[in-house]
Amino acid sequence: SLESSFQTDVIVLDFSKAFDRVPHQQLMLKLSLLCIDPLALSWINCFLANRFRYTLIEGHHSATHEVVSCVPQGSDLGPLLFLIFINNLPSGISSSIRLFADDCVL
């Protein structure tokens, strides 16, 4: 710090498309390790499952693809699921760390 004349370094990370990069299977594993009620786990799994995406340009559809990684943005549950997914990120870092939504300050 400035008072103790030690060097202070700051690294700021912004996870690009963070909410789109949460694999459903890994998230469900983390949720099950938190001993969440099985009925709630089943509900969350249904909430994430059977989502598909395609691109529509001038009336033409691309192929449809199943969405297997993301937490839905704009939902009440999406940010909470993302925070649960990254919750153990600081455990592998020996310096102080602050997490803010999809940003990280080391």
Q: Give the C-alpha separation, 89 to 60, whole Å.
A: 41
% pLDDT > 70, the chain: 68
pLDDT digits (tens, 9 = 90+) for 73-97: 889 999 899 889 888 765 666 555 5
Lowest mean pLDDT segment, chosen from 5-19, 39-53, 56-70: 5-19
Q: Is the pLDDT of residue 1 over 70?
A: no
- Every domain of the chain and the residues it spans: 18-91
Q: Is the pLDDT of residue 35 over 70?
A: yes
Mean pLDDT of 68-75: 90
